[in-house]
Amino acid sequence: MSVSYPEPSLFFGIISSFKNSPDGGVVLNSQGVDLEIEHLAGVGWSLEARYDRCHTGVSRQPFTGAQTTLARTSCSIEHDPHSKLLMVHAGGDALTIHLETGAISAARGGRVYWRSEGSPFAAHVAPVKILEDIQSIEQTHWDEPTPYRLVPTHFETHMTRFRYPAPRGAIFGLPGQCGEFNRRGYRYDLFNNDQPWHIPSRPQMYQAWPIVIHEGSNGEGWVGVFHDNPARTFVDLGDFYRDTVLFESITNNTRVYIVADENLGGVTQRFVTLLGTPVFPPSWAFGYQQCRYSYMSSDEIRAVTARLRSEKIPCDSIYFDIDYMDGYRVFTRNPETFGDLTECLRDVKENGFEPVCIIDPGVKVDPKNETYTALLKKDAYLKDSENNTFEILCWPGKAALPDFFSERVRAQWSSIQKQWLKTYPFSGVWNDMNEPSNFDGGREKTATAVSELGPIRDFYNLYGYSMAAASAQGWTETHPEKRGVIITRSGYPGVQRHAVVWHGDNSAWWEHLRLAIDTAVSYALCGCFYTGPDIPGFFNNPSDDMATRAFQLGAFLPLFRGHAYKLTSSKEPYAYPGDTGRRIKEAIALRYSLVREWYSSYERSRRTGAPLLEPVLDGDKNPVRDCFMLFGKLLVAGVTTRDERARAIWLPEGVWYRLGDTSETLQGGQWILEPVTLEHLPVFVRGGTILTRNTPQKNTPETLAAEEHFEIYRDASGAAAGYWYGDDGVSTTDSRAQRIALSVTRGSEVVEKRSI
């Protein structure tokens, strides 16, 4: 049996007209399809293909995760009838379009950094059958032998395509998907999904980030491509087509952003400009946080927090998972087990913990449920094709999904949340299940629902993003002056403007330690800096060694939160005896000893766009397994296998030190073999760094208020520099915020401080 991949029927090829658009861009037309070219200041090119005239469905995505108000650089056109080339100039950037083939290339300073082969834009005008990866669908066709992992299944759709040859080297991106950090050679299906296995053959995960990053096509610098289409999107990076980057979305219009920079970090910076400044969580969010599915009563919450204190384990936050609710009705509390919720919140706060409550999107269908009826009266739910409330099955049983795509509904939700937070003053809101999860028919069925803005299949991947936006709005309305934590499972590029992200239901497996590193670094490259996994892993009971490595790793990832599934053993740091317990406590103490660095570096990254985490690239620009750069100055080497005795680590150019040891220098620009023990992870500091070190107290605010000292790691010339940020830790505008540049010169022990 031969399986063919569907070829599009329409290419954006022979260009029949082109003209300047009123807002400074250029509009081209080919076979009835418009392509609008714009140049965004500080970002790069935006190419929007509008297939309205040859497609049904939305003519323009009602909204996207990107910032829509960015300044446009005005474009000038240069047409050479002889060579049939159209050049569009904007600042130092130039885009060249071949008027007879639709081929496009992008260049800066005369050097081409991105190019297509023929027309990159194409569409299936007549509906095509989607070929699905058999390993990724529940219902497989094992009896049909296939020469390939694809079988035709399920549904017919229009599709639009964007395709170009992959330059050499690694392809990064697609944060949130499982599988290798280097995505080259794989195929992905971005269709947000609650799938807890996190294994490469079931890659559809909670978030859809249609972003890839690779070298420039001339082998210089780095290029990022954001295929901004929130409908289900297939991304093929050389699985079916060798050496190709291909995006295919099941709906009409696609906007593609192409950004280029000399440095990988510069690509991130451009994405931060495009997607917006990440939220600034309060300082306590940089400490250790404790969660479990679920602490079953306010007494259990009190017992856990008391134990953490009595064992002298620093911790900043305690999470209330779904069992605090009354029958899983959002915005309620269980009258028996959490009857004294008000007092419980007061007690944990007095003990120095910030309480965070889970809030799911599904509202229990129940005429006695106030939230349900209030939203029903406002006509606030997604509908089915007959215009009745679309119902899902989730924890509360039958539930209705608020139409978060609608601004009106987001405002209603935020006022309900405001009422809730006024009654029960939690310090943060945790949005789970917002892919949205549906135990009845999954995403295929949910995708048939209809929003006020149209059929949700056209923007399905924005549901979690929209819920996070509503939560963030609710938080701000409750506390205009105070930062809180909104933490979300589902998302789309731009979600970092509203919320922080956690990686969802991992397992206490060694494999998932690697996945946690790859996921956090992938997110960070795309400008979403604050993410992290469940530590030591949600499902399963870890071995002692695995738990040790998990806490040691978590201490170096932005979100450092312990969590555990209902049917597993206790996984709080105090649950481990002997050396395991000691090592875990030491890992947490190490986190707090660097908490000023966390706070300062995060503040700088969100402000400047410099990635908080980056891959470590060897001399051939290949990512070094399980290693990452943190704050631009620490090199953290994860240990993700049992009984590892030594780690091969590439130290980038320059002078390096082991963390905490300024006496011995290591030469960079080479591989080293570093012996490892269970005591700690190998962590190195780049020469030229001043680290602020803290003395761990019971939580972050107390640690930041206590005495600090500087550790000086000099570069080859004997100098070092650092950055120190401080404020009151929670205010949105804090007049006492201080930004200080630290420096020492050769031969001097004095750390100079300069306000910036």
Binding residues for ligand MIG, per CB under 6 A? 293, 321-322, 358, 432, 489, 504-505, 563
Minimum CB–partner distance for residue 401 and ligand MIG (Å): 16
Q: Which is nearer to ligand MIG, 479 or 489 (CB)?
A: 489
Instruction: Determine the angle formed by the axes of helices 595-608 and 578-593, rounding to 10 degrees.
Output: 50
Which is closer to ligand MIG, CB of 322 or CB of 676?
322
| Inter-CA distances, 44 with 70, 79, 107, 114, Å | 11, 21, 11, 12
Q: Which two tokens stand for residue 734?
A: 């804090």
Closest CA to 357 of 425, 282, 409: 425
Question: At closest approach, how far in Å is the CB of 690 from ligand MIG?
Answer: 38
- The DSSP secondary structure of 263-283, one letter per residue, reads SHHHHHHHHHHHH-PPP---G
For residue 363, the minimal CB distance to ligand MIG (Å) is 15
CB of 103 vs ligand MIG, minimal distance in Å:
45
In angstroms, give the least distance from the CB of 516 to ligand MIG.
14
Q: In this complex, which beta carbon is closest to ligand MIG, that of residue 435 or of residue 518?
A: 435
Given its phi and psi angles, is residue 677 left (phi above 0), alpha (psi -120 to 50 degrees) or beta?
beta
- Considering the complex, state which of residue 357 and residue 634 has its C-beta at the smaller distance from ligand MIG: 357
Four-residue CA torsion sign, 322, 327, 330, 333: negative
Closest distance between ligand MIG and the C-beta of residue 749, in Å?
Answer: 48
CA nearest to 32, candidates 125, 120, 95, 151: 125
Q: Are 101 and 13 in contact (CB under 8 A)?
A: yes
Q: How far apart are CA 584 and CA 562, in angstroms?
A: 11
CB of 328 to ligand MIG, least distance (A): 9
Smallest distance, ligand MIG to C-beta of residue 428, A? 14
Minimum distance from residue 171 beta carbon to ligand MIG (Å):
28
Per-position b or e across 381-416, b if 16+ CB within 10 A of its CB: bbbeeeeebbbbebbbeebbbbbbbbeebbebbbeb
Q: What pairing do the DSSP bridges indicate for beta strands 85-90 and 33-40? A: unpaired
CB nearer to ligand MIG: pick between 120 and 562: 562
**Residue 105 belongs to what H/E stretch?**
strand 104-108
Runs of H (alpha helix) within 341-388: 341-350, 370-377
- Residue 205 vs 524, nearer CB to ligand MIG: 205
**Token couple for 302:** 């009190």
Q: Output the six-digit token pair for 76.
A: 């000038």
Report the chain's C-alpha Rg in angstroms: 26
- Name the residue with the smallest CB distance to ligand MIG: 293
Least separation in angstroms between CB 504 and ligand MIG: 5
Which is nearer to ligand MIG, 505 or 626 (by Cβ)? 505
Q: Which is nearer to ligand MIG, 191 or 222 (CB)?
A: 191
In angstroms, the CA 357 to CA 621 distance is: 42
